[in-house]
């Protein structure tokens, strides 16, 4: 393939010209940094649930709101902080991190990483109004993180994608499992594994599944170890609507990666890390992502462009043999 048109088709995301949309200067209280935001629409507002690292280096979650999805105002105080409930305290003692939001019925479920002295594990909470927050469960043991819920039950089960291991240099595969009640999880299967190339070190799911006519669309991040450190980039996969354990197709190359200075330079350089994606009525996907663990940015892409990449002939972007 050659020509600028072909390159644009392989990398179809458009960065918002006003990036980054949020930095620590926008946070109305002292902090080190803001990054990795979950995203959804609630009534007439766009909602971001921000991971904010405080001056001690521990994280909590704070809400930000917008009428247009570009200009956000951050709440004056945190919304979700490490729990003092004895059932949760030791597992959240070092922070709550990297949330994702999935609407199921009239409730908004929040998966996040509970981080404590024994390592990271997946926690689930819920809200109906983004005022009251209720913890539901600690869904996994350690080490596990990067979890998302599907927006509807499948065959009567809640379905979750997560990433066990991958911590401290371990190999990290994307898994999928089911639960009757959000408490007890099982039927776990490997969904996607690292391959030589752009995602050779580990993978992790990035955004909750988006239902399309062709399947469940899921963005995920892939990590490559380089001489200059880790490089985080984004791929996409398409899962069967009735049997999401079956992959219909996935992008043979990364579709979005760090290029601009705010993605290249920061607390953790060379990182784009989305936790929220919103599908608009016109078919545009807004992807909200942490950049270099230092700020939050926005990129947009046409749904059909991503679906084409998930289903494309892999030989077109790889040399023969």
Tell which residue, 244, 235, 252, has the closest CA to residue 212.
Answer: 244
Architecture of domain 4-317: 5 Propeller (2.115)
For residue 210, list its beta bridge partners: 217
Number of residues assigned to the chain: 321
Q: What is the pLDDT of residue 228?
A: 87
Token pair listed for 202: 């580990």
Residue 270 near residue 261, CB atoms below 8 Å: no
User: What pLDDT is attached to residue 317?
Assistant: 52
For 309, list phi and psi in degrees, rounded to 5: -70, -35
**Strand, helix or coil for residue 156:** coil
pTM of the prediction? 0.95
φ and ψ of 207, to 5 deg: -130, 150
Q: Which two tokens stand for residue 18?
A: 């006003």
At residue 308, φ and ψ (nearest 5 deg) are -60, -40
Kind and range of the H or E run holding 250 = strand 247-250
> What CA–CA distance (Å, rounded) separates 57 from 104?
33
In the prediction, which pLDDT does 167 show? 72
191-206 pLDDT tens trace: 999 999 999 999 999 9
Residues in the chain, pLDDT under 70: 1-6, 314-321
Strands 107-116 and 14-15: unpaired
Q: What local confidence, expressed as pLDDT, does residue 320 receive? A: 43
DSSP 8-state secondary structure symbol assigned to residue 5: H
2 beta partners: none
Phi, psi of 190 (to 5 degrees): -70, 135
**How far apart are the C-alpha atoms of 295 and 223, rounded to whole Å?**
19
Q: Does the CA dihedral 60-292-98-224 come out positive or negative?
A: negative
For residue 170, give the H/E element and its range: none
Preceding peptide of 184 cis, ω within 30°: no
């Amino acid at each position: 393939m050659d020509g600028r048109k072909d390159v644009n088709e392989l990398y179809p995301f458009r960065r918002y010209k006003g990036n980054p949309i949020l930095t620590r200067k926008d946070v109305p209280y002292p902090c080190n940094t803001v990054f990795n935001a979950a995203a959804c629409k609630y009534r007439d507002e766009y909602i971001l649930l921000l991971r904010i690292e405080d001056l001690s280096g521990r994280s909590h979650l704070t809400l930000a709101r917008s009428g247009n999805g570009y200009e956000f105002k951050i709440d004056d105080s945190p919304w979700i902080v490490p729990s003092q409930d004895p059932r949760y305290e030791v597992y959240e003692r070092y922070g709550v991190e990297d949330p994702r939001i999935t609407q199921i019925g009239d409730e908004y479920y929040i998966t996040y990483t509970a981080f404590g002295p024994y390592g990271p594990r997946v926690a689930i909470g819920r809200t109906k109004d983004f005022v009251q927050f209720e913890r539901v469960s600690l869904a996994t043991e350690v080490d596990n993180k990067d979890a998302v819920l599907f927006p509807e039950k499948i065959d009567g089960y809640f379905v979750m994608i997560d990433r066990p291991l991958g911590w401290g240099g371990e190999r990290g595969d994307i898994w999928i499992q089911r639960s009757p009640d959000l408490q007890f999880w099982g039927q776990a299967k490997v969904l996607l594994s690292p391959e030589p190339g752009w995602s050779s070190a580990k993978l992790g799911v990035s955004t909750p599944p988006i239902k399309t006519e062709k399947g469940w669309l899921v963005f995920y991040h892939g990590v490559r170890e380089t001489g200059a450190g880790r490089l985080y980039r984004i791929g996409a996969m398409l899962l069967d609507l009735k049997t999401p354990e079956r992959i219909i197709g996935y992008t043979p190359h990364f579709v979005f990666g760090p290029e601009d200075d705010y993605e290249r330079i920061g607390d953790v350089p060379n990182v784009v890390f989305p936790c929220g994606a919103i599908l608009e009525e016109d078919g545009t996907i807004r992807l909200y992502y942490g950049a270099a663990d230092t700020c939050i940015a926005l990129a947009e892409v046409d749904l059909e462009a991503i679906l084409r990449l998930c289903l494309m002939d892999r030989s077109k972007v790889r040399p023969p043999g």
